[in-house]
Chain A
Amino acid sequence: MSASSESILEAFPLTIRDWLASVVPLDWLQWLILSLIGIVAILTVFGLTFAFTTVTERKLLGRFQNRLGPNRVRIFGIRVFGFFQPFADAVKALTKEDIVPAAADKVLHFLAPCAMVAFSLLGFAVLPFGKHLSLLSNIDAALLYFFAAGAASELAIFMAGWSSNNKFSLISSMRALAQLISYELPLLLVAVPAVLMAGSLSLTGIVVNQGGDLGILNWNVFTPWGFAGFIIFFIAALAECNRCPFDLPEGESEIIAGYLTEYSGFKYALFFMGEYFGMMSLSGLGVTLFLGGWQAPCAALAFIPSYLWFYAKLIVMILCFIWMRATLLRLRMDQLMRLSWKFLVPLALVNLGTVTFWKYTADWEGGMLVARWLIAIALVILPFISLGKVLSSGLGPRKYRYA
């Protein structure tokens, strides 16, 4: 993408930032202003996205279930199909009484939601939102930073579960820890192929590697190992942010609200903010690794600024999260662990094999290219089918006799 063909919109946010920074005399103060503007930009964009994701989730869930979502909130008489709901929720969360159980561990009980939101926000620092828009674009171990930031959120959940001094919270924090640790492995393993192909750990490098004249076909998701990797990534991301088929830590029908039981008021809202930020940062990573980050699907559409493409793909992935939540049942704890250790991790390891095969046969041409694709697809499908058979052995719809 040569600079000349860039639209003025592309670098527009940068010009504002540099103009604002130039106002300040001292250089270290300038560095401070630059990073502050970046942080404020991310917080506003993703804060608003969080607000409107909650309401779109409730409206979409409603539509999935053939009912209308919330449409009653009215500001100055305008109803806008209920999209003022997040502001009403915010006011409710702020005004609700914040009950702390007497026997609770006050310090941890207070720190848990703050830690939860803090850790899930850390992930946004390295995501390449646009061609030039990335807060810490000069870090070359960006992917490792992302997983380091995500890994600490288990600490927050444990603090919440333990400090509420409630049996259900304890069970649920145990479940949460086991689930998060066991699903971090497939998440890491499935990110390695993208790094292998791009040759660098930095996320901007991975996105640039997915560019090229073929446009959409260059994205990782349209290679055999990329598609398998994206499916595993999606399942692992669902588990990492406690979303539907894996929302055991706060399985409503079993242990009420799990580690959230003893929280109310703004702390409860903070937990949800943490969960949604985690969901957005993970789908941001998914978009960067597999869906070509800020790459436009084809050269003709390149005039739309790159950060809009990133945002569109992010929204599509969040809608898939909501779709999963509307349909899938919840797994039991041991099945959840078995799915990760006996199904996703082996598949991810095999995926490493396919990607090395894919990389070292890059120069096959013509007939050999078809062979390359077939072998790669076989390397992905066969283990999936055999492991799938092992996993669901003895389960299946049954024939019934009639008396």
Chain B
Amino acid sequence: MSLSEPIPGSTIRAVHDDFHGDLLEVSMGPHHPSTHGVFRMIVTLDGEVVVKLKPVFGYLHRNHEKLAENNAYLASIPYTDRLDYLCSLTNNWAYVHAVEKLSGIEVPERAEYLRVILGELTRLINHCCLVGFLLNDLGTSFTPLLYSLRERERMLDMIEALTGSRMMCNFMRFGGLRTDVSSEWLAQLKTYLDTTFARYLDEQDALLTGNEILLARTQGVGVLKSDLAINAGITGPMLRASGINYDIRKVDKYSIYDRFDFRVPLGDHSDTYDRYMMRMLEMHESVKIIQQAIKDIPEGPFIDPKAKNRGLRPKAGEAYARIEGPKGEIGFHLISDGTGNPYRYRVRPPSLINLTVLEDMCLGQTLADTVIILGSVDIVLGEVDR
């Protein structure tokens, strides 16, 4: 199934071979400390080198899409929180974006600004979480992970004060947001980003980016060639780590992203270290976007009063809309037949599609590297299995 030819030197040969000795088939099973959830890899090892890797997932399948077909449009917004449970606001935004495109609902200015702020805040949460988990897989006994989680807790507390729940926000509605965002909340966010979060970023940078062991363990490991990345449909920081300039915020210019100036970092070596640095640099950019958005956010309605949320019946038709989620391009493809329930409701999960190239990256690497490569792909099983 792998799209590219096997890496020269990795010996693809029979598992049971009396002369060379048997290959060891190890199941890093659904119940493994570093698979970020219920995900299984059947790894065939020649000594420590990986010869074959078969990912097995589906343990967290909750029938999300069939459920949405039997629910009203409004009722499936809380279910999108549970897709990628680390960043529920961007899931909401992607779904609401698709429904607005399907039924032609307008979104007022202030709502657009607030959506950008919350979307970028979720990106910060996801990236600082990922950096922590990646380094936890590398073996530090939880230290960088707990620094990241401490910052994430502060951000989640702010989101809880706004939306009512830390991770299951259910905050976006067709045509805007559920409630308005108070100016004190925005001021509190601004001071937090300028002081505590900035210090966290510098600390994490100093603690890890120059660390010799991290360099040795991640540079040159799990290389994903750019042509394979494009063919496999990889999106998000993984694609940009392979040096391809494709960020949907710049390509589609959806919502009001054209008003903010921010840069998109690109990697040259497309290895695990680049994927890790992509997330670190994107965090700096997201902080810049939020500060610009807070500076010139207009007054006005937080939701389009004419937009009908309850009992929405969009006219028959079909729409696909996508946004740049923290893990890549998350898109919703909705087909409506005029009734209250969507006829077809399809989610484009970036984690699952980024996962398809896991074997190509792990061939020829050691068992310890497969764990970090899986960590750098940044998957959340809720989104992979849906």
Which residues of A line the B interface, CB within 8 A? 61, 64-67, 167-168, 171, 244-245, 247-248, 251-256, 325-335, 392, 394-398, 400-403
> B212 contacts A392, CB within 8 Å?
yes
Can you list, as one digit per residue, whether each of B32-50 has a CB less than 8 Å from chain A (1) or not (0)?
Answer: 1110000000000100100
- The answer to whether B366 touches A333 (Cβ under 8 A) is yes
Interchain CA distance A329-B218 in the complex, whole Å: 11
Chain B contacts for A171, CB-based, 8 A: 24, 26, 45, 48, 367
Query: Are A402 and B209 also in contact (CB < 8 A) when A325-B141, A328-B140 are?
Result: no
**B150 contacts A402, CB within 8 Å?**
no
Q: Is B147 an interface residue (CB 8 A)?
A: yes
B266 near A256 with CB under 8 A, answer: no
Interchain CA distance A394-B136 in the complex, whole Å: 24
30 A-B residue pairs with Cβ-Cβ distance under 8 Å, sorted by A, are: A61-B141, A61-B143, A65-B142, A65-B147, A167-B26, A244-B141, A245-B213, A253-B136, A253-B138, A254-B34, A325-B141, A326-B140, A327-B140, A329-B135, A329-B140, A329-B217, A330-B139, A330-B140, A331-B213, A333-B366, A334-B366, A335-B217, A392-B212, A394-B220, A397-B210, A397-B215, A398-B269, A400-B281, A402-B263, A403-B263
A332 touches which one: B34, B45, B147, B366 (CB < 8 A)? B366
Q: Which residues of A contact B48 (CB under 8 A)?
A: 171, 333-334
Contact A66 B146 (CB under 8 A): yes
Expressed in whole angstroms, the minimum distance between the Cβ of A131 and any Cβ of chain B is 38
- Given A253-B139, A255-B367: A332 and B267 interface contact (C-beta under 8 Å): no
Let me know if B14 is at the binding interface, CB within 8 A.
Answer: no
For residue B368, CB closer than 8 A to chain A, the reply is: yes
- Chain B residues in 8 Å Cβ range of A64: 143
Residues of A within 8 A of B1 (CB): none
- Bound together, the chains give a CA A244 to CA B143 distance in angstroms of 13
Contact A403 B366 (CB under 8 A): no
Q: Is the CB of A331 within 8 A of B141?
A: no
Chain B 260-284, CB within 8 Å of chain A: the 1/0 string? Answer: 0001111111000110010001000
Residue of B nearest to A339 (CB): B216
Residue among A66, A248, A325, A403 with most chain B CB within 10 A: A403
- CB-CB nearest 6 A-B residue pairs: A330-B139, A403-B245, A402-B263, A65-B146, A253-B34, A395-B215
CB distance from A174 to the nearest CB of B (A): 9
**Known contacts being A171-B367, A256-B32, is A403 close to B266, with CB within 8 Å?**
yes
A310 to B285, CA, bound (A): 53
Q: Which of B265-317 contact A (CB under 8 A)?
A: 265-269, 273-274, 277, 281
Most buried by A among B24, B219, B250: B219
Closest Cβ–Cβ distance, residue B358 to chain A (whole Å) = 16
Shortest CB–CB separation between residue B28 and chain A, in angstroms? 9
A282 to B26 Cα, complex, angstroms: 35
B268 touches A329 (CB 8 A): no
CB distance from B250 to the nearest CB of A (A): 8
Q: Report how far A364 CA is from B272 CA in the complex, Å.
A: 54
CB contacts (< 8 Å) of B247 on chain A: these are 403
**Interchain CB contact (< 8 A) of B266 among A61, A325, A326, A400:** A400
B367 and A254 contacting across the interface, CB-CB below 8 Å: yes
Give the complex CA separation of A333 and B368 in angstroms.
8
Q: Is B211 on the interface with A (CB-CB < 8 A)?
A: yes
In the complex, what distance in Å separates the CA atom of A328 from the CA atom of B141?
Answer: 8
What band does the interface of chain B fall in when counting residues whose beta carbon is under 8 Å from A?
Answer: 35 or more
- Report the bound CA distance from A74 to B210 in whole Å: 43
- Beyond A330-B217, A335-B217, 9 additional pairs, beta carbon < 8 A: A66-B146, A67-B146, A167-B24, A247-B139, A255-B367, A330-B139, A334-B48, A394-B219, A397-B210
Q: Does B369 contact A (CB under 8 A)?
A: yes
B81 within 8 A of A: no
Query: A117 → chain B, closest Cβ, in Å?
Result: 23
Contact with A along B197-221 (1 / 0, CB 8 A): 0000000000101111111110110
List chain B residues, Cβ under 8 A from A396: 215
Measured CB to CB, the residues of B under 8 A from A are 24, 26, 32-34, 45, 48, 135-143, 146-147, 150, 207, 209-217, 219-220, 245, 247, 250, 263-269, 273-274, 277, 281, 366-369, 371
Residues of A within 8 A of B274 (CB): 398
Q: Are A327 and B143 in contact (CB under 8 A)?
A: yes
B369 interface neighbour in A167, A168, A332, Cβ under 8 Å: A332
Instruction: Report yes or no: A402 in contact with B213, Cβ–Cβ below 8 A.
Output: no
Asked if A400 and B146 make an inter-chain contact with CB atoms under 8 angstroms apart, the answer reads no
- Find chain B residues with CB under 8 A from A332 CB: 216-217, 366, 368-369
Q: How far is the CB of B94 from chain A (nearest CB, A)?
A: 23
Determine the distance from Cα of A2 to Cα of B143 in the docked complex, in whole angstroms.
49
Contact A251 B139 (CB under 8 A): yes
B214 cross-chain contacts in A, Cβ below 8 A: 329
Instruction: State in angstroms the CA–CA spacing of A117 and B213 once bound together.
Output: 31
CA distance in complex: A244, B219 (Å) = 21
The chain B residue sitting closest to A331, CB to CB, is: B213
Whether A329 pairs with B263 at a CB distance below 8 angstroms is no
Given A331-B216, A332-B216, A254 contacting B368 (CB threshold 8 A): yes
Q: Roughly how many angstroms separate A53 CA and B140 CA in the complex, as a whole number?
A: 19
CA distance A265 to B138 in the complex (A): 28
Q: Which of A65, A252, A329, A400 is the most central at the interface, judged by chain B CB atoms within 10 Å of its CB?
A: A329
Contact between chains at B366 and A392 (CB < 8 Å): no
A168 cross-chain contacts in B, Cβ below 8 A: 26
| Residue among A66, A253, A255 facing the most chain B CB atoms (10 A cut-off) | A253
Contacts A65-B147, A330-B138 known; A395 to B264 CB distance under 8 Å?
Answer: no
Chain A contacts for B263, CB-based, 8 A: 402-403
- B11 CB to closest chain A CB (Å) equals 17
B265 neighbours in A (Cβ, 8 Å): 400-403
Alpha-carbon separation in the docked complex, A61 to B140 (Å): 11
* A313 smallest CB distance to B (angstroms): 25
Cα of A2 to Cα of B309 in the assembled complex, Å: 93
Most B C-beta atoms less than 10 A away, residue of A64, A245, A398: A398
A65 adjacent to B143 (CB under 8 Å): yes
Q: Are B213 and A254 neighbours in the complex by a CB distance under 8 Å?
A: no
8 Å CB contact of A329 from B142, B213, B250, B266: B213
Q: Which of these, B135, B210, B266, contacts A402 with CB under 8 Å?
A: B266
